[in-house]
Structure 1
Amino acid sequence: MQSITIVLLGIAGMLLGWFVYSKFIAARIFKLDDSFTTPAHELQDGKDYVPTNKVVLWGHHFTSVAGAAPIVGPAIAVYWGWVPAVLWVVLGTILFAGVHDMGALWASVRHKGKSMGALSESVIGKRSRALFMIVVFLVLLMVNAVFGVVIANSFVSQPTAVFPAWTAIAVALIIGQLLKRNFALIPLCMVGILVLYASVYAGSYIPLSLPESMFGLADTANWIIILFIYAAIASLLPVWMLLQPRDFINGMQLLVGLFLLYGAVFFAMPDITAPAFNTQTAMDTPSIIPLLFVTIACGAVSGFHGIVSSGTSSKQLNKETDVRFVGYLGAVGEGSLALITIVAVSGVALAASPQEWHEIYSHLGAGSVDAFITGGANLIQQGWGLPVEFSSTILAVMVVLFAGTTMDSGVRLQRYIIQEWGEIYNIKALKKGLVATFVAVGSCLLLAFGAGGASGSGGMIIWPLFGSTNQILASLTLLVVSVMLIKMKRPARYTLIPMLFVLVMAFFAGLIKLKEYWLAENYLLVFLDAIVLVVSVLVMLEAWSVIARFRRSESN
């Protein structure tokens, strides 16, 4: 089959979701209202609560939720075959991710920009808040610790990406200052994109790297420390100064990347060499059900999106009707990235024949980011004639910048959670932004170096938990939104059905992993996995109790 068929059908489905389904959900279920005063206006402080143009906010939201996950997950899951991967990405984007992201954003806006953890107390009850926030903190800890390692490894393996990655930060700071002085957005961003791609070209000729050993640590470990120092500073700056312009430029950069990749498919029309359904999997390959639905999270549905929606995006929403543009369209953008990733790692751009493809994908976990960069660069070369080396740098920078923006937002969100704990338990020190940031970064570095030693790769130890934990968080977010809709006497099936599906798949995946960790005698993962599973059950029981009480009061 030609890859263009997959692309046309996938994009058609997502456009149908955007133009039809999202309009229905926005108008009939969430009933978005421009007369509602959003937290960005009600609590405006010039730092975290800032009314923001919906296009700029979409850029922040999109790049914060995207990260490397919509590339990594699909690039791994294609091992089971491209058909199940494509179906889950497309249907998940339309029916799951878009509704989930819109719902989390809307619910938070309706509750003064509270995070989903704090929001669960208002909607379900006090006990659910403490349980919910444990899962949220674990997900943020995993994302921040691991993305620091991912970026550091990319800097070491792709030194040509270092210069453009840091140049993007400098450009964003300048644009943030100019936007504050009412310079026009579009011209500034066009200049910013040109400078970014000029730095990508320059980076191809000026690779930068740290010494292999410095201060008694390897180059990767030193990069991790530098990245967390940067993330700590970035998380304390007002959102208009760095976060918004950086994320918007990265969003525009992604659109350019998607244009190059999708355009290459239309020009080159490469064939698919990967199997539709892989019947030659290794003996130890786990079942596609439920593992497919936790391997591809971002790009189909992801609990981390709910953290971003209710953590930073809800505090910047100018009008409530912008929920649809920021939330649902953000999910469509991520789904389109996941879809083109599947094409890039499934066709002749990566492997000239089915046999060669099976050699690359010899087991579950093979391929991943390297396969995307290799396949994507070859695809761009075939379609546009750009040199493979330059195309590889473009895609490597795209991955690094995405991971970087997710890390920026992740540390800020972790700081919010810690400050909320300070408010809940009346711990004055934790209420302070500087202290909360220090605790957030300190916990990530403690995991990175405490569990991983001098390499700083400790986050990788608990990363296997991310898939099931992240999807359980998505189901809990949908649960909070569903209970809120039920209390408002609105139809809740559009959130309840996705919630039940994701919960069942994630819960069984968690049980499968629990057995694996136990047999491997990895008792840290056994302990953490068990906590997540027990917490999810307790929150569900709490929610069911609230719904039952509400139904009884309605009938009396």
Structure 2
Amino acid sequence: MQSLIMAVVGVLMMLFGYFLYSKFLSKRVYKLSPDYRTPSHKYQGGVDYVPTNKWVLWGHHFTSVAGAAPIVGPAVAVIWGWLPAFLWVTLGTIFFAGMHDLGALWASARHKGRSIGTLSGRYIGGSGRVLFLVVIFFLLLMVNAVFAVVIADLLVSTPTAVIPTWGAIAVALVIGQAIYRFKWNLPLVSIVGVVALYALMVLGDRFPVELPETILGLSASAFWIIVLFLYAGIASMLPVWMLLQPRDYINGLQLFVGLGLLYLSIFISNPTVVAPAINQNVPEGTPGIMPLLFVTVACGAISGFHGVVSSGTSSKQLDKETDARFVGYFGAVGEGLLALGTIIATTSGFATLAAWEEVYSAFEEGGAAAFVDAGSTILNAGLAIPESLSATILATMAVLFAATTMDTGVRLQRFVTAVIFELFGVRLNVFLATLITLVTGFGLAFSAGGDGRGGMIIWPLFGTTNQLLAALTLSILAIILLRTKRPVWPVIIPLVFVFFVSMYAAIIQLGTFIADGQWLLVVIDVIILIAAVWVVLAAISSMVRTRNKPLDLDAEMDDIEAGTSV
């Protein structure tokens, strides 16, 4: 099969999702109103609540939710063949991810910009809220610790990406000042910023930065992990307009340019897909495709982390409620396109099937490295970009995706940490909440020794935890839609599917952890399973109990303003 066919079919399917299905969701299900006064205007404070141009907010949202997972997940999942991954990414983006992300953004914006974890308390009770927050906390802990490892490994393996990675911070600071302080023309600022980032890539390709094997007794990777956490902690305390938002926006544009180059190369070179549609010859030890496919691809189709971002930062910056369609749904489409590009690159960027099988010799042997290597081959063949510079562009894409997600993840974990302490009557200021977030992140990262890779210990639980959190978010949306007498089937069907698939995966993994004697994973897996089942049962009880109690969202907002919210 030619990769061009896969690219055209996949892109057309996602465009159908945005132009038709998201329009249905916006008008009939979520009923977005251009007249609704969003939290960014009601509570504008210049730090977290900031009315934001929808293009800028889309850049922040897209790069925050994307991370490395839509690269790593599909790049691993193609071991079962390209067809299952392709179908789950395209259909999942259209009917699952876009609906989920748009819904979480809408629900939060209708409730003072509060997180989906906080909303769980209002709609399913206090105990459900606590358990919801536990799942969110574990997920954010995994994201921050593991993405730090992913970024550090790429900076070590591809030293040409060091200069553009850190130079992007300086570019973002300038962009933030230009947009918000000096009110410069946005298109002009955007063009200058993108050109500056790609100039940094060319510079990085000419001057790679390789650290010595040990620094202050630490490996190069461990040193980068420490630097990344310290940077993310500082960035999380700055006003969103100063660094986080412009960094995500300009990275989003740069990343879309990178994706454009990759797709253009596919259209020009039209490489042959050498991987089988259904792999009947998987390596020994590869787990069964069902249900692992659905939690391995994860962020490429639907992700609970997206709901945390939508309700944690993006909802506080939404200028108009109608912008939620572009920011939320199209943000999911952007991630779907990245996952689709990853599938094409990792199945057609090899000369032969034997070469592909050599890379995919064992489960989880693909990942970001396979995407960079195979993608650089396609860029070279299609656009004659030297393979070294191609690798730099793609590695920088992967690093910046992961870095912007880590930036947002640390900020969100700080929010969640503060909420958890509030449940016990303790109010944390921003510095203490950030300090606790960094200490827990460092503790996990260095729990297995001095190499900083401790976060990888609980990474096997990321996929299932992430999907379970998506199911929990959908359960809150279902309650709100039922009580507001709106169509609920677009939410209920994905909710049932995602919940049972992720529970199935979590139970299978629990058996594996017990057999391998991985007792830490056993304990965490059991806690997450109990929390997820408890929350879903509480949600079902709430649906039954309140199905005949109509909900007026405007009156609901008045209650929250009056201080009667949970």
How would you bin the TM-score normalised by the shorter chain?
over 0.9
What do the CA deviations read for 1:336-391 (whole angstroms, capped 9, x no partner)?
010011010101x2x21222222221222122111110111010111101100000
**Matched residue type, 1:319:** K
Partner of residue 445, structure 1: 442
> Aligned partners of 1:381 and 1:552: how far apart in 2?
61
Aligned-pair CA distance for 1:426? 2.3
**Matched residue type, 1:7:** A
Please state if 1:344 is matched with 2:345. Answer: yes
> Aligned partners of 1:112 and 1:179: how far apart in 2?
26
Q: Which moved more, 1:132-141 or 1:285-294?
A: 285-294
> Aligned partners of 2:93 and 2:473: how far apart in 1?
16
What pairs up with 1:435-474 in 2 under 5 angstroms? 435-449=432-446, 451-474=447-470
Q: TM-score, normalised by structure 2?
A: 0.96
What pairs up with 1:244-323 in 2 under 5 angstroms? 244-323=245-324
**Matched residue type, 1:90:** T
**Matched residue type, 2:205:** S
Partner of residue 402, structure 1: 401
> Aligned partners of 2:356 and 2:220: how far apart in 1?
33
Partner of residue 153, structure 1: 153
Partner of residue 383, structure 2: 384
Partner of residue 233, structure 1: 234
Partner of residue 425, structure 1: 424
Partner of residue 559, structure 2: none
Aligned-pair CA distance for 1:423? 3.2
Runs of 4 or more above 4 Å deviation = none
**Matched residue type, 1:394:** I
Partner of residue 135, structure 2: 135
Partner of residue 365, structure 1: 364
> Aligned partners of 1:293 and 1:246: how far apart in 2?
31
Partner of residue 171, structure 1: 171
Partner of residue 85, structure 1: 85
Partner SS for 1:153: helix
Please state if 1:534 is matched with 2:533. Answer: no
Aligned-pair CA distance for 1:552? 5.9
What do the CA deviations read for 1:236-271 (whole angstroms, capped 9, x no partner)?
000000011100111011111111111011111111
Please state if 1:495 is matched with 2:521. Answer: no
> Aligned partners of 1:360 and 1:418: how far apart in 2?
40
Partner of residue 13, structure 2: 13
> Aligned partners of 2:394 and 2:414: how far apart in 1?
30
What do the CA deviations read for 1:450-472 (whole angstroms, capped 9, x no partner)?
x2211111100000000101000
> Aligned partners of 2:98 and 2:425: how far apart in 1?
36
What do the CA deviations read for 1:292-326 (whole angstroms, capped 9, x no partner)?
00000111000110010000000100010011000
Aligned-pair CA distance for 1:212? 2.1
What pairs up with 1:198-213 in 2 under 5 angstroms? 198-213=199-214
What pairs up with 1:11-50 in 2 under 5 angstroms? 11-50=11-50
> Aligned partners of 2:384 and 2:212: how far apart in 1?
35
Partner of residue 560, structure 2: none
> Aligned partners of 2:65 and 2:16: how far apart in 1?
22
**Matched residue type, 1:384:** L
Partner SS for 1:298: helix
> Aligned partners of 2:231 and 2:26: how far apart in 1?
38
What do the CA deviations read for 1:167-213 (whole angstroms, capped 9, x no partner)?
10001001111112211111111111111111111111211133322
> Aligned partners of 1:524 and 1:344: how far apart in 2?
36
Say what the alpha-carbon RMSD is for the aligned residues.
1.0
Partner SS for 1:455: coil
Structure 1 counterpart of 2:502, from 483, 502, 506: 506
**Structure 1 unmatched runs, 5+:** none
Aligned-pair CA distance for 1:553? 5.8
**Matched residue type, 1:526:** V
> Aligned partners of 1:448 and 1:139: how far apart in 2?
14
- The 3 A distance-change label for structure 1 pair 152 and 283 is closer
Partner SS for 2:55: helix
> Aligned partners of 1:490 and 1:179: how far apart in 2?
39
Structure 2 counterpart of 1:544, from 540, 543, 552: 540
**Matched residue type, 2:412:** L
**Structure 2 unmatched runs, 5+:** 551-566
Q: Which moved more, 1:281-290 or 1:321-330?
A: 281-290
Partner SS for 2:298: coil
8 Å contact kept, 2:48–2:239: yes
**Matched residue type, 2:440:** S
Please state if 1:434 is matched with 2:431. Answer: yes
> Aligned partners of 1:205 and 1:552: how far apart in 2?
66
Q: Which moved more, 1:75-84 or 1:282-291?
A: 282-291
> Aligned partners of 1:363 and 1:208: how far apart in 2?
31
> Aligned partners of 2:380 and 2:4: how far apart in 1?
17
Partner of residue 126, structure 1: 126
Partner of residue 554, structure 2: none
- The 3 A distance-change label for structure 1 pair 208 and 553 is closer
Partner SS for 1:208: coil
**Matched residue type, 2:73:** G
Partner SS for 2:248: helix
Q: TM-score, normalised by structure 1?
A: 0.97
**Matched residue type, 1:439:** I
Partner of residue 74, structure 1: 74
Among the aligned pairs, what percent are the same residue? Answer: 54
> Aligned partners of 2:148 and 2:448: how far apart in 1?
13
> Aligned partners of 1:235 and 1:548: how far apart in 2?
40
